[in-house]
Amino acid sequence: MITLIKRDLLSTKNVWFFVLLALGIVWAFLSYIILQHPGEVVELLVIPAFLTVFFGYGLVAHVCRVEDLNRVNERVLQLPVHHHVLILSRYLTSFLLVAILLVINLAFFGVLSFFSDGKLFTFNEISTYGYLLFQLLILIILLYLPFYFAKSSNVATWSIRISVFLWLLYTFLLPLFYFERIHRKYVPDQYYDHLGVFLFLFTLLLVPISFASSTSSFRLKRLRKRNLLPLASLCVIIFIVFAGVAKIAESKSLSSVADILMDTKVENVKVKAFPAYQYDEGETPVQYRVLVTIEFSNDSFSENKQLVYTEPIYVQVSGSTRDYLGLNGFEVPFEWLFSSHYVGRDKEERKRYAYEIEAPNFLTEEEKVTFLANFTEEDFTVFIESKWLNAGRHLVDWRKR
C-alpha cells in the first residue's frame, strides 16, 4: 500500500514546481490588490479558489493518466495484490494531494490575514472558504476515480466538468432563486456557513460509497460486463445527499436569523430637552426641543454577516409621551443600527447600540418640567415584524423591566 502511494506521489514531482509558482504569483498579486482595496476581498478570492480546484483535479488526473500510459495498473494486478488495494491507494494519494493544496492555500490566506491585522477576514469566513473548497476537491475525487476505474480518464474528465458546473449552480445560483421564490427573501450569509460545514461532513460520508462504486465498476470491467449500475447508484446517492444538505442548511440559516432578531433587547429610553433656538445669555428659553434616545443590545448580530434584513424595528409611543411630543412611533433600521451605532457594553458585557430621534413638537418651560417629571419608559412598545420569524412578529423584551 505505502509503495503504491509513494509511486503515485513521485509521478507528480515535476508538476509541483509549476503549481507552487502559479499559486505564489496569484496570491502575491491578490494580496497587493486586496490590501490596497479591501472592499474587493470576496470577489478576488474566487481566483485562488478556482486555481486550487483546477490544480487539484489536474494532479489527480495526472496520476491516473501516467498509470495508464505506463500500464502500471495492469502490471500491479499481475502481482499478488488485490484490486481493492490498488484502488484504495489511489484514493489515499488523491486525498493527500488535495490536502497539501488546501494547506498551501490556507497558509497564504493566513499570511494575508496577518498583514491586514486580522481585519479583512473572520475565523468563520476562513473556515467557510476552507470547508467549501475542500468539499469540492473531495467531491472531484469521489466522482473522478469511479468513472476512471469504470471507463477511462477521458470519461472521468467529462464527469468532473459536468459535476463542477452543477456544483457551482447548486452552491451559488440555485439558493438565490430558491430563497426568492419560496421565502421571498435574499440568501443570508449564515446559509453558506451551514452549507459549507454540512456539505463537508456529508461528503466525507460518501467516501466509502464512492470506493465501493469504484471497486464494483472495476471488477465488472475486468469481467467485461456492464458497469453502469454502480456509477448510476453513486450519482443518485450524491443527488439525494446534496438535496438533504441544502434543506438542512436552509432550516439552520432561517433559525439563525430568527435567533439574531429575537436576541434584540431594549436597554433603556432617555429623553433630553434643549432650547429650540439660540438665545442670548441670561435670556430664558421659550421653547424646547426633545431628543429621544433608545438603546438596544444584541450579542448575536455580527457586522461581518450580511442578514439582508430589510424590515426595521418598530417603536410605538403612547400615553403622555405621545401627547407631549406628538410622536406616535418611529422605525429603526436594523442593520444600520447594529452596524454603525455601537456605544459600548452593559454590565453583562452585551453590546449596546443607540438610536436618536427628535420629537416633532416643541415644549414650553412648564410643559418641559411636567413632561420630564412624569416621563416613563412604559409609554414605549418595541416590536419586530419579519418574514424570518415563524410567528411573523416578536415583541422585544426590556432588559431592566
pLDDT (0 to 100) of residue 117: 63
pLDDT (0 to 100) of residue 302: 64
Final residue in a domain of this structure, among 195, 227, 254: 254
Q: What share of the chain is helix, strand, coil (3-state, %, to 5)?
A: 65, 15, 20
* pTM assigned to the model: 0.78
Same domain (yes/no): 219, 329:
no
Place of cell 488485490: 82
Instruction: Write out the residue range of the structural domain in which residue 291 sits.
Output: 263-398
User: Hey, is 296 helix, strand or coil?
Assistant: strand
Final residue in a domain of this structure, among 202, 227, 254: 254
pLDDT (0 to 100) of residue 185: 74
Cβ contact 131:155 at 8 Å: no
Same domain (yes/no): 37, 114:
yes
pLDDT (0 to 100) of residue 179: 85
Locate 21 and state its grid cell.
509558482
Question: What DSSP line would sit under 324-371, residue for residue?
Answer: HH---EEEE-HHHHHHH-EEEE-TT--EEEEEEEE-SS-B-HHHHHHH
Low-confidence ranges of the chain (pLDDT < 70): 37-43, 70-81, 116-125, 280-284, 302-310, 340, 400-401
Same domain (yes/no): 236, 377:
no
Final residue in a domain of this structure, among 200, 235, 254: 254
Same domain (yes/no): 275, 206:
no
| Nearest Cα residue to 258 out of 354, 188, 338, 179 | 188
Residues 161-178 pLDDT 10s: 999 999 999 998 999 888
Same domain (yes/no): 84, 127:
yes
Residues 29-38 pLDDT 10s: 887 777 776 6
Q: Number of folded domains in the chain?
A: 2
Same domain (yes/no): 379, 295:
yes
